[in-house]
Structure 1
Amino acid sequence: MCEIVVYNILISYLLFFSLDVLAQVKNPKTAKTLLPNAEANEEIQLEKKEPESFSQLRLIMENDAFGGFSDRYYTNGTRLEFNTTASESNVTRQIFGVWNHLFIPKTEDTKYLMGITAGQEFYTPTNIRKADVSFGDRPYSSRGYVGNTLTSWTESSSVTTELELGMIGPSVGGKSAQINFHNLIGSPTPQGWDTQIPNSYSIGVNTDVRKFWHKYFGTHYNINLGNIYTNASVGVILRFGNVDQNPGPGFSALMPGAPILQIPGKGYWYFYINPGSTLQVYNATIQGQIGSDKTYKNQSRSSSLGDWDGFLKSPTYETGERELLYRTLSEDNGRNALRRFIIFNEFLVKGSSNPYDFGTNYLLFNIIFNGAEDIERLFKLVLIKSISDNWEALPENARIMALYSLFRPKGGEQPAFVRYYAYEILSQFILDPTQRSALLELLRQEVEFREDKTYTGDLKRAVGFFRAGFVSVSEAGFLFSLNYNYQSIDFQSAKGLPQQHQWLGFQLGKVY
């Protein structure tokens, strides 16, 4: 019921500003007809200074698949905008105009564009084949929003301020959207969306400031305040091409900035580079919503098997060596599964009374130490053959564990009882009865603690970025832009994870 109420508020919000937009497009200039002659003449003079009314559409799309880059971290973003000239009576201009004028002074030549926006963003960890989150990796999260913007711009400067309302969490639909897209293009099905940051509502105010001191050199500032992002960015813009000091459109769906800034009948084009840095204070797509009790944090896979000495209370030489072994097995950075399976097979199969076949032992390793990673089709056939040949010798819990692991639905999580069975089966042959009871009791408590919760991470405060691309706005108002983005990671990662990410994006638009 709460979600329905919020969505109705958002729809009413958009409808209100849409009616205001339509009123402007239909009658962009107003004049007082019942004024005395002196006032009428003054009104006419003011009216002549109002720029001609125009409207525009802009679409921004970004994806790390566009450049053939690795599918991780910020993986997809889309933003759609409608902008139109804002008259003095425009509600958005009256509200945001005062704030924008703190950054650029109001002059007779200042132009104003009011916009309505909608967008979404998806984030994933390094290895999307895993049903569990790899601790120390970026959490799954999805975000959707609608917004209202005002851009104030002069010959060499622009300020865009946006008020946005939206949601973060499963209700945004990131899971189904990415699974369907990956199935369409033949990419691996992401398995871990059930661990994503939980539902919460969002509100934010964002301001983007661009000032060009020379047609080839400008500065760029961005401030975000809200319960999704609170951060500040600064950068420089270097460009070359057929352009004057027009600040031009923004570069990215994450930092969209100004819409199409165009003087009627005058086109321009340029290449640009935009290095800069961001200082993060808060990021809900990594940390979860402020005050939420539905998240937990852990920077290493120190589950029940991790702190071996701590809960078994037996600091013998053998136990210390075994703890080191488990820590090595648990250092899952998303890319070293084969090395860790060799260790598992060498010490927990050959080095114990473990009686199980290759297929069962691989499933035990995959569930306990490898994040329940999705198994490729051909390898799955090998495992099925191995398990079927030894089916009669398997106890009931091993059979259930094998069936759920091999045939779980695409994109589905590994059930808690299957994980419990995996620990129970493995512990039978590597622990004495007292140790096994302690292990399984701790595992039960851990499952209860994490039930209905999701993993979150810690921020990396300073983030560097580099953008480059090409922008073209024709005399008729057609926008085309191709944008490359490179960024250092924005979270505190486990050892061995990639420390950067890159993606491509494009923009299409038209002024009417």
Structure 2
Amino acid sequence: MKTKILISFLVAYLLFAGSTWSQSKIIKKQTPVKAVVETPKEIQNTKPEAPEQYQLRLIMENDAFGGFSDQYYTNGSRLEFHMSAGESNPTRKIFSYWNDLFITPTEKTRYLQGFAVGQEFYTPTNITKADVSYGDRPYSSRGYFSNSLTTFTEDTSITTELELGMIGPSVGGKSAQINFHNFIGSPTPQGWDTQIPDSYSAALKTDIRKFYHRFFGTQYNLNLGNIQTDVSFGLIFRFGNVDKTPGPGSSALQPGSPILHEEGNGYWYFYVNPGGTLQAYNATIQGQMGTDKAYKSQNRSSAFSNWDSFLNNPTPDVGERELQYRILSEDNGRNTLQRYILFNEFLVNGTNNPYNIGLNYLLFNNIFNGAEEIERTTRLFLLSNLAAQWDQIPDNARALAIYSIFRPEGGKLPPIVRYYSYEVLSQFILDPKQREALLQLLREEVEYRDEKTYIADLKRAVGFVRAGFVSVSNAGFLFGIHYNYQTIDFQSAKGLPQQHQWIGFQLGKVF
């Protein structure tokens, strides 16, 4: 449609110009001086229109690209389409009121309207557990569609984006990551059924990049919405064959401006971008606003806090047992061995527990270790151990053991399996009163977990460093590769990594 309008405009303009040229010849013959001096006002006031521009850009990020640990922000992708925005463009009319607060428009100011679709996936440090680990980042995924306006001059770009989307299982994070991991031969993620539930999202984002020298600039980013509300600031140092053009953004998390390019004027540069973010809200960590279906392992009032109410005669020994149960339950994804030693000392040795390591490990794994996926070699060892003691194992324990070793991948451990695990574990280790108390506590705990979604506390200040290479050819081909280092954005349990790294790349073309 725009092409037809442009052709019609050009035809009309040529006819008008031809008519004017003929008139000027007649005038020149009659009054030579005035013919040179007097030019129609329409021609004097006509500004050369910038040529129509269309472009595509793809950004992909994954911690697997750099061989880093599969955790936290694990994958992001974004596909964009941009086009020139004339004065009558609705997006330009609306967003330019805001963008023009940060820039003084001139004849050289250009505008690009953009459309984008994107997704982001987040996981805890240990994806082999079916439960959420204590003090870790929850599973979450979000997808979105956005409409944006980029206003830019020779040294500044302002991109404002309105984003609508969704967070939760409907985004498809579970199937996408499981299929990708199966394709590359990585462990199957087990805990996606615990992810933050569905809710709709809306956000308004602004990215400002200004270069005071071709090798130095600043970046500001503001996000307002019910998924993320934060503000960030960064410095950009770069070196290469480039003038003061801001260049394209780099990260799918903060995409910034699209390809800023003029025909026949390519550029390339290396850059380093240190900065920090102040967070006010992050739904991928804290869950949806106003929900009553969330809990935090590190500070909730759990069933274990009611231990004394189940016993008629509390003693110091009861408090010690409560503390030991708490420690067993505080799974941060990296302390399995320490907690299994505690389990073995507290609930196996010194009791009349008749089971060998095979069944006891499965009980520990189901109750206290997040139903972690059992590796092939460990599975073979447990099967061998169970076979040696098979005649002494009760029928319900046999069924429990077989299911626990060969259970389906990628889903929650059914509550009934936990109940059986509690029954088998407590059958021989406690006196009747303590046994009944333990069973009641554990049942309450699993019911509490089953109805709620784990969330984490927010870390307000987050630091980051980005570095990479960007190239835009004379013909408008974009290639970029980017390294990202970031401190974690949530309050973690002790022993968890306090930083994360990933690699991203972007490809694009201006038409």
Report what 1:290 is aligned to: 289
User: Which runs of structure 2 are paired with 1:11-160 in the superposition (5 Å)?
Assistant: 23-28=1-6, 31=9, 48-160=47-159
Instruction: Summarize the Cα distance change of 1:25–1:490 in structure 2 as closer, same or farther, 3 Å threshold.
Output: farther
Following the alignment from structure 2 to structure 1, what is the Cα–Cα distance between the partners of residues 42 and 281?
A: 48
Residues 1:204 and 2:222 are matched in the alignment = no
User: Which runs of structure 2 are paired with 1:263-302 in the superposition (5 Å)?
Assistant: 263-299=262-298
Q: Deviations over 1:321-360 (max 9, x none)?
A: 3334333333322122123222322332122111112111
Shift of residue 368 of structure 1? 1.6
Q: Whose radius of gyration is greater, 1 or 2?
A: 2
Query: Which range moves more in the overlay, 464-473 or 445-454?
Result: 445-454
Following the alignment from structure 1 to structure 2, what is the Cα–Cα distance between the partners of residues 168 and 208?
A: 22
Query: Which one-letter code corresponds to 1:153 in the other structure?
Result: F
Following the alignment from structure 1 to structure 2, what is the Cα–Cα distance between the partners of residues 409 and 96?
A: 50
Instruction: Summarize the Cα distance change of 1:489–1:26 in structure 2 as closer, same or farther, 3 Å threshold.
Output: farther
Shift of residue 435 of structure 1? 2.1
Residues 1:371 and 2:349 are matched in the alignment = no
Shift of residue 314 of structure 1? 5.1
Report what 2:425 is aligned to: 426
2:489 is paired with a residue whose SS is coil
Which stretches in structure 1 are left out of the alignment for 5+ residues? 1-22
Q: Deviations over 1:433-478 (max 9, x none)?
A: 1222222223333333333431111111111111111111111111
Following the alignment from structure 2 to structure 1, what is the Cα–Cα distance between the partners of residues 442 and 46?
A: 74
Kept in 2, the 8 Å contact 1:307–1:323? The answer is no
Instruction: Summarize the Cα distance change of 1:54–1:387 in structure 2 as closer, same or farther, 3 Å threshold.
Output: same
Query: Which range moves more in the overlay, 265-274 or 432-441?
Result: 432-441
Instruction: Summarize the Cα distance change of 1:202–1:351 in structure 2 as closer, same or farther, 3 Å threshold.
Output: same
Shift of residue 30 of structure 1? 7.5
Residues 1:488 and 2:487 are matched in the alignment = yes
Query: Which one-letter code corresponds to 1:138 in the other structure?
Result: R
Residues 1:497 and 2:492 are matched in the alignment = no
Following the alignment from structure 1 to structure 2, what is the Cα–Cα distance between the partners of residues 282 and 85?
A: 34
Following the alignment from structure 2 to structure 1, what is the Cα–Cα distance between the partners of residues 60 and 398?
A: 46
Kept in 2, the 8 Å contact 1:59–1:509? The answer is yes
Following the alignment from structure 1 to structure 2, what is the Cα–Cα distance between the partners of residues 401 and 394?
A: 11
> Normalization by structure 1: what TM-score?
0.90
Q: Deviations over 1:226-247 (max 9, x none)?
A: 1111111111111111111100
Following the alignment from structure 2 to structure 1, what is the Cα–Cα distance between the partners of residues 498 and 44?
A: 58
Query: Which range moves more in the overlay, 297-306 or 183-192?
Result: 297-306
Q: CA RMSD in A?
A: 2.4
Report what 1:349 is aligned to: 348
Kept in 2, the 8 Å contact 1:236–1:275? The answer is yes
Report what 2:242 is aligned to: 243
> Normalization by structure 2: what TM-score?
0.90
Query: Which one-letter code corresponds to 2:112 in the other structure?
Result: L
Following the alignment from structure 2 to structure 1, what is the Cα–Cα distance between the partners of residues 305 and 402?
A: 27
Query: Which one-letter code corresponds to 1:96 in the other structure?
Result: F
Q: Deviations over 1:197-248 (max 9, x none)?
A: 0001111111000111111111110011111111111111111111111000
Report what 2:452 is aligned to: 453
Shift of residue 51 of structure 1? 1.0
User: Which runs of structure 2 are paired with 1:358-397 in the superposition (5 Å)?
Assistant: 358-397=357-396
Aligned-residue identity in percent:
68
Kept in 2, the 8 Å contact 1:24–1:87? The answer is no
Query: Which one-letter code corresponds to 1:465 in the other structure?
Result: F
Shift of residue 406 of structure 1? 1.3
Kept in 2, the 8 Å contact 1:163–1:205? The answer is yes
Report what 2:35 is aligned to: none
Q: How many aligned residue pairs are there?
A: 488
Following the alignment from structure 1 to structure 2, what is the Cα–Cα distance between the partners of residues 181 and 339?
A: 32
Shift of residue 432 of structure 1? 1.9
Query: Which range moves more in the overlay, 421-430 or 477-486?
Result: 421-430
Instruction: Summarize the Cα distance change of 1:328–1:74 in structure 2 as closer, same or farther, 3 Å threshold.
Output: same
Report what 2:476 is aligned to: 477
Query: Which range moves more in the overlay, 231-240 or 330-339?
Result: 330-339
Kept in 2, the 8 Å contact 1:161–1:206? The answer is yes
Query: Which range moves more in the overlay, 139-148 or 446-455?
Result: 446-455
Instruction: Summarize the Cα distance change of 1:73–1:306 in structure 2 as closer, same or farther, 3 Å threshold.
Output: farther
